[in-house]
Amino acid sequence: MTGILGTLSWTGTELDPIVMAALIISIGFSVDIPAHVSYHYYSAGAHIPPPVTARRRLHFCLSSVGFPALQASLSTSLCVLALLLVSIYMSQVFVKTMIVCMTLCVIHGLLLIPCLLSLADPLLTKLRRSKKA
């Protein structure tokens, strides 16, 4: 949400009721891809044979979710771009908000979150082993 507001302010969009409505709609989209990525990374242990490593979890996660996430964000962005054919302020704000939301969602969902999960996995494994000992 902060990234969307910051990017919208760079484009000269001021905070008004239309921007707030577009932000509320974008909240649902902004959790979609990161939630799928996190779930598939976590559930990879049940779907891949041992040994379950961070690298294999990451491979399972991105091979399951990566391409569909790109397709979903691209199709949403293309559908929203059709609103630019109508030259009203509301459609322009909505297009800006959704394009920024989809871009940040893909960056976070397919780059940032998998990197953080794969970095945290060895640390959590060591922590679990030290608790058992």
- Model confidence at 114, pLDDT cuts 50, 70, 90, reads very high
Q: Is 129 a member of any domain?
A: no
Q: Is 53 a member of any domain?
A: yes
* Residues in contact with 26: Cβ distance below 8 Å, sequence separation at least 6, in sequence order: 1, 4, 97, 98, 101
Which CA distances in Å does 99 have to 29, 57, 58, 81, 118?
Answer: 11, 29, 27, 8, 28
30-63: b or e for each residue (b if 16 or more CB lie within 10 Å)? bebbbebbbebbeebeeeeeeebebeebbebbbe
Q: Is 130 a member of any domain?
A: no
Q: Is 132 a member of any domain?
A: no
For 44-101, what is each residue's pLDDT tens digit? Answer: 988 888 888 889 999 999 999 999 999 999 999 999 999 999 999 999 999 999 999 9
Q: What is the CATH number of the domain that holds 32?
A: 1.20.1640.10
The answer to whether the beta carbons of residues 110 and 62 sit under 8 Å apart is yes
How many domains, in total, are found in the chain?
1
Domain holding 29, by residue range, is: 2-122
